[in-house]
Structure 1
Amino acid sequence: MSLGVRFGAAVVASFLFLIPFAAVAVGAETMIYRAPEAPKVAALKETPSLAPIVNAGQLPAIDERLPKVPRVSVSGPNLSVGKHGGELRMLVTRDKDVRLLNVYGYARLIGYNETLEVEPDILESLEVEDSRIFTFKLREGHRWSDGQPFTSEDFRYYWEDVANNEALKPTGPPQVLRVDGELPQVEFLDETTIRYSWSKPNPFLIPALAGARPLDLFVPAHYLKKYHPAYGDQAEIDAAVAAAGARNWAQLHNRLGNMYKATNPDLPTLQPWFNSVRPPSQRFVAERNPYYHRIDASGQQLPYADRFVLSVVGGALVPAKTSAGESDLQSRGLHFSDYTFLKAAEERSGFDVRLWKTVRGSQLALYPNLNVNDPEWRQLNRDARFRRALSLGINRSEINQVIYYGLTLEGNNSVLPDSPLFKEEYRAAWADFDPEKANALLDEIGLTERDSAGIRLMPDGRPIEIIVETAGENTEEVDVLELIADSWKAIGIKLFTKPSQREVLRNRIFAGETIMAMWYGYENGIPTPYTSPEEFVPIHQQSFHWPKWGQHAETNGKAGEAVDMERPERLMALYKDWLYAKSRDEKAAIWQEILEIHAEDVYTIGLVAHVPQPVTVADSLRNVPQEGIYNWDPGAQFGIYRPERFWFDR
């Protein structure tokens, strides 16, 4: 049984999901994180698809490719020792989705397991003293996918030559590495030991390392040095810049060295599969990493599947192609509305449709942009009475019944009943369908004038026509917005929907061009007191209701706008208090005030939660959970269930 500080907990469906740190206490202030004990492996077994090149002397034997202490995946009641072979096929809707190889591959320094416990993965161990000093111990003999050693030099190069190089990172190291503005002291003690130290606790480091998009503290230094003027030949660097059409060496280095995007087939990786196809492409083939650090209990090197294949199709085609059996494992591009259609094709196409639990604060939410450029709209969006009126003007029961067959939880974009922080009033505040009260609030603001169609007029005479911008990736958003548009007419508000590409939408939000956007609700609806409240605080540009405030925080004031409203300023102060709170009770009290402010001020307008996510699984694919949670962070969607353990029984 794992011991240690609990990071989060939730009861989801019939499962008890705990989010503790899998650690052992050593003294009052020191925790050592180690992977659970695994059975002894008698002998290593060569991977069949690699045997020919091993026999030809083109690849070292398995015992020479693995770390001295490999990570052993423990079998359980619902996990079986598998067989090598086959292609794991999946459909995606953009070539940018090739990055899912790094999300679903989910090789992390330290990461969540399937019960949402945090344990070392790439690391052999992690020692944490007083939540301030983090000592990483790498696995001796661990290698990159090209066979080169993975050592502390990869961390040193990243820290000294990338993160703190102004040409490569103009804003400096990632925000999560700053504690009250203080960057860590970083020491490279030997080839396998690295230490990060702060004068104050850093509660964000481990969750960031375990994220779906992880905090990268290392890069393949041996590969990237040849593109860095401090190490490479300048003439060769200039030639490479010209050949790639890059502006300069820094842009080329950043482009070639982006491990998350997986767009450079030449970039070594530690993931179970590496992309072998350069974008743009309609089909990405990821080959197995022959140096992957994990094995199963029988001594077979993971992953089981030889290849992970991502086929790019139009978003509207994903359900049809899935129903035709063109995917072995599918969730993205599928929605609850596709469930009956997919169930009808199960037997014919040889797959099983499973419903996994979603744990967002709201399936979808409206985000009034408090930083919108238009001064009139900025004033309206910043008025809590206006946001409350919009929320009261939404018939959530109708959305639940018409779109989701009455299976969802209605209410605000807030924590779910599975969270120990949950209070019914947080989800219920201003979430009733009450057009009379909504109209009274709008009148109170002074929006009493209407045009001939009954639409209220803004102070400058323009009709209150709210353009809700979306990523336009599914019909669910459109259907929900149509219902909202109908109910908003009763309070004199007209709604228009404007779909655009995801990146275009984000850039418009960041630039202050949007009045309101529809996006997913808060990613983690099941927090505990030890979970960071950052989603509820204006510190991230990706918060679509206050993006410029978030940008200001992320860039240490170099871009964006400083928070200039009293209640959001209070949220910032509470966030700082949470950082330094010592006890669970202190952190819980801070969380409660944050949630109370959000419930009262309605910064985002939630709709319904607990919408089931269809997951289709080929009949021959094993080790995919029958029931699971489907969440980006924590969870990495399929990542915590380790797709390298999925295998074909044919």
Structure 2
Amino acid sequence: MQDVTAYRLGLVAFKWRSDLRKLKEFIMKKVVGFFLIGLIVSSASLFAGGAKEAPEAAVAAEVGNEAPQLAALVARGELPPLEQRLPSEPLVVEPVDRIGEYGGTWRRAVLGGADGANMTRTVLYNMLVRWAPDWSGVIPDIAKSFTVNDDSTAFTFQLREGMKWSDGHPFTSADIRFWFEAVFSNPDLTTGSRDVAGVELVDVEVHDEYSLTFRFAGPSGLFLQTLASPGLGADVVSHPRHYFEQFHAEYNPNIDEVLRAEDFGDWVDLFDHKNDQTANVEQPTLNGWVVTNPYDGTTTEVRFERNPYYWKVDTEGNQLPYLDRVVFDVLQDAEVVLLRTLDGQYDLIGRHVANAANRPVLFQSMDRGNYRFLEEVSDSSTAMALHYNFNHQDPVKREIIENKDFRVGLSHAINRDEINDLIFAGLAEPWQVAPLRTSAFFDEEFAKQFTEYDVDFANEHLDLAGYTQRDSQGYRLGPDGNRISLMIELINSDEQIAALELIQGYWREVGVHMDFRPMDRSLLWERKGNLLHDVMVWQGTGGLNPIMTPVRWIPVAGGAHHGIGWSNWYNNPDHALAVEPPAPVKRKLELYDAVRSVGDPRRQHELMTEILEISRESFRLTGIVIPPPGYKVVRNDFHNVPEVMPGSWNYPTPGPTNPEQYFTTRGR
């Protein structure tokens, strides 16, 4: 067993530099220097030859300063001194540019009532382990260190002695054990499989207050990467026992009294209601900021304030975060987000505003808004993917969608070059939902199949599909004798709407009626979850890292918008909306189970390659173009933000860049 300071995950270094312009002019401007980003194509070198150590971490001086507001509370005796609030070994964060200044607000925006991922990416990224800022590996975070046994079935973590929740209560191994036995292992709170990254989590064994081991039934080749990514990683460290046991029937014999006081009829509903770090202002947290104005559908502003017990410091020992608070405007229209960004109201923002369509107007207003652009290297396999619903509640729609010739014909009917020129300023490239050139899984045939604009070929495939009969307006008739008509659903996105307007015309030319309907994310998620959508538009993720972001090809989770029923079946065959998948999909699920249960990175790569080959043959999703170079907007007086960063859900941008060391000089 080897002590692991950091996992340098075996990776292919991606150099985002000026010579990549040879690949279809993908770079809008020259990026000076090199940006190394791990592609995490597998867990290569993760276990082969033993773990590798990262460069030495920054070392802090003695305990330094704290925010003036906290110092005032200490002076009044309302808060313990800083040295009593920090762990004995706080995590030391090296600032991107320089030691920051205390004070100020980070202003952002959320869109609609189901944009919690916005907060996951910004204020909620604190895990046992985390992605390194350059995405080159997994490094300690809440855990000060960890070790892995030789066959990857046991992962032991050392916690930070003296670390505290935001309410001042000690954080210990008992809190993680509580998550395991009270939440993860409780069938009322966690339905379906008890697997983690595809392997059964057998036990979380506590050795002492600050040491514990996760034990698996077999090799868990993706456990550390899963812990560093959104989802499980946050769950493990967000259930303080001293707070949540009062809402749990197995821990509180007086639960009925609590239910009456809280006006809930069922303890499970109450527990779930309380378990929300964006809406429950009473929930203790380990994050840098604590929610004080909740994201609960009733407010126009969500507010997070500094956590006085936060456990990270800069290299001079000053407690982080530098910023007093993070404030999210709750808006309903992306156009309003754009207007406020143009006015310089938002300090660092990309979500809902930093798209190709907005780039020219944002560029023109840089002086007025006092901001600049940052580069974002996207791992999206396509800027927009058409996710046909293969589990549709309507059997006629389902039959049409399942016809591969139908999908191939519609793909050939799309003029991707025109979409690229008119919407993406010629900076993109026709592409299916397939790994990018910079991925070790790149497959030219997969990426380019059926992307040629050819109306004759499109009509030929639609005829082969059996839909040769047309109505008086020239639209093709389906198996029920009625006009084939597809409704495409999406959240508000100007560039995707513009692309769909063009696609609507392309498909009309080959006799297929299509309309589209933008909607709030919460409604879209509701319709998707009930298998009611015909086609859904979403980005194609996993372009760099299909093993860690596989849902565009394998229905293992709710992000598999094309196969929600299959995903339900995979995770819980008794689910009310579970749909047993066909043999090729079952084979992919079996292969991915194998990917997650082997420790050999070469074998993982072979298995994932077979999955992608099946996906290429099945051709279930339709891609449009590779995303053009990404960007974010940052005010010139907002500091310590990297000039280039990865863009991914798996690496929840910008969370791994340590937002706690951002600071502002606005108004100074």
Matched residue type, 2:661 = R
1:445-460 paired onto structure 2 within 5 Å: 445-460=465-480
Is the partner of 2:363 in helix, strand or coil?
helix
Q: Can you list the C-alpha shifts for 1:400-439, whole angstroms capped at 9, x where unaligned?
A: 0000110012210111111121122221011111221121
Contact 2:7 2:53 in 1 (8 A): no
Is the partner of 1:467 in helix, strand or coil?
strand
Q: 1:639 aligns with which of 638, 643, 655?
A: 655
Q: CA deviation at 1:609?
A: 1.6
CA separation of 1:163/1:588 partners in 2, compared to 1, >3 Å: closer, same or farther?
closer
1:209-228 paired onto structure 2 within 5 Å: 209-215=227-233, 216-218=235-237, 219-228=239-248
Q: Can you list the C-alpha shifts for 1:99-156, whole angstroms capped at 9, x where unaligned?
A: 6444313111111121102101011111111221111211111100111000111112
1:138-537 paired onto structure 2 within 5 Å: 138-171=159-192, 173=194, 175-176=195-196, 179=199, 182-215=200-233, 216-218=235-237, 219-232=239-252, 234=254, 237-259=255-277, 262-278=278-294, 279=296, 280-315=298-333, 316-334=335-353, 335-471=355-491, 473-521=492-540, 523-527=541-545, 531=548, 533=550, 535-537=552-554
Give the whole-Å Cα distance in 1 for the aligned partners of 2:529 and 2:7: 42
CA separation of 1:108/1:582 partners in 2, compared to 1, >3 Å: closer, same or farther?
closer
Matched residue type, 1:271 = N
Q: Which residue of 2 aligns with 1:132?
A: 153
Q: 1:79 aligns with which of 78, 84, 97?
A: 97
Contact 1:388 1:601 in 2 (8 A): no
Give the whole-Å Cα distance in 2 for the aligned partners of 1:5 and 1:631: 17
Of 108-117 and 353-362, more deviation after overlay is shown by: 353-362
Contact 2:551 2:560 in 1 (8 A): no
Q: CA deviation at 1:166?
A: 3.1
Query: Unpaired segments of 5 or more residues in structure 2?
Result: 18-33
Of 306-315 and 584-593, more deviation after overlay is shown by: 584-593
Is the partner of 1:196 in helix, strand or coil?
strand
Q: CA deviation at 1:578?
A: 2.5
Give the whole-Å Cα distance in 2 for the aligned partners of 1:35 and 1:302: 22
Q: Can you list the C-alpha shifts for 1:32-54, whole angstroms capped at 9, x where unaligned?
A: 87884222414422322211101
Contact 1:35 1:121 in 2 (8 A): no
CA separation of 1:177/1:524 partners in 2, compared to 1, >3 Å: closer, same or farther?
closer
Is the partner of 1:379 in helix, strand or coil?
helix
Matched residue type, 1:150 = F
CA separation of 1:112/1:4 partners in 2, compared to 1, >3 Å: closer, same or farther?
closer
Query: Unpaired segments of 5 or more residues in structure 1?
Result: none
Give the whole-Å Cα distance in 2 for the aligned partners of 1:408 and 1:345: 24
Matched residue type, 2:622 = I
Q: CA deviation at 1:627?
A: 2.3
Contact 1:188 1:195 in 2 (8 A): yes
Q: Which residue of 1 aligns with 2:29?
A: none
Give the whole-Å Cα distance in 2 for the aligned partners of 1:541 and 1:45: 44
Q: CA deviation at 1:597?
A: 2.3
Matched residue type, 2:339 = A
Q: CA deviation at 1:177?
A: 5.9
Q: Which residue of 2 aligns with 1:107?
A: 126
Contact 2:14 2:37 in 1 (8 A): yes
Contact 2:156 2:212 in 1 (8 A): yes
Is the partner of 2:608 in helix, strand or coil?
helix
Give the whole-Å Cα distance in 1 for the aligned partners of 2:648 and 2:364: 26
Matched residue type, 1:62 = L
Matched residue type, 1:621 = F
Matched residue type, 1:127 = T
Give the whole-Å Cα distance in 2 for the aligned partners of 1:79 and 1:631: 23
Q: Can you list the C-alpha shifts for 1:373-406, whole angstroms capped at 9, x where unaligned?
A: 2112212211222211111111111110000110
Matched residue type, 1:323 = L
Contact 1:10 1:420 in 2 (8 A): no
CA separation of 1:553/1:96 partners in 2, compared to 1, >3 Å: closer, same or farther?
same
Q: CA deviation at 1:556?
A: 4.8
Contact 1:265 1:274 in 2 (8 A): yes
Q: Which residue of 1 aligns with 2:568?
A: 551
Give the whole-Å Cα distance in 2 for the aligned partners of 1:99 and 1:28: 34
Contact 1:540 1:549 in 2 (8 A): no
Matched residue type, 2:484 = I
Of 578-587 and 156-165, more deviation after overlay is shown by: 578-587
Give the whole-Å Cα distance in 2 for the aligned partners of 1:617 and 1:28: 41
Matched residue type, 2:415 = N
Contact 1:35 1:120 in 2 (8 A): no
Contact 1:136 1:194 in 2 (8 A): yes
TM-score of the superposed pair, with normalisation by structure 1 = 0.92
Contact 1:33 1:127 in 2 (8 A): no
Is the partner of 1:353 in helix, strand or coil?
strand
TM-score of the superposed pair, with normalisation by structure 2 = 0.89
CA separation of 1:357/1:114 partners in 2, compared to 1, >3 Å: closer, same or farther?
same
CA separation of 1:569/1:46 partners in 2, compared to 1, >3 Å: closer, same or farther?
closer
Contact 1:30 1:128 in 2 (8 A): no
Contact 1:353 1:617 in 2 (8 A): yes
CA separation of 1:409/1:467 partners in 2, compared to 1, >3 Å: closer, same or farther?
same
Q: Which residue of 2 aligns with 1:613?
A: 630
Matched residue type, 1:263 = A
Contact 2:434 2:443 in 1 (8 A): no
Give the whole-Å Cα distance in 1 for the aligned partners of 2:289 and 2:55: 22
Matched, 1:589 2:609: no
Matched, 1:57 2:74: no
Q: Can you list the C-alpha shifts for 1:308-344, whole angstroms capped at 9, x where unaligned?
A: 1111123220000111122111112202211122222
Q: CA deviation at 1:170?
A: 4.1
Matched residue type, 1:595 = L
Give the whole-Å Cα distance in 1 for the aligned partners of 2:55 and 2:243: 30
Give the whole-Å Cα distance in 2 for the aligned partners of 1:102 and 1:370: 30
Of 203-212 and 123-132, more deviation after overlay is shown by: 203-212
Q: CA deviation at 1:276?
A: 0.6
- Say how many residue pairs are matched: 636
Q: CA deviation at 1:611?
A: 2.5
CA separation of 1:265/1:626 partners in 2, compared to 1, >3 Å: closer, same or farther?
same
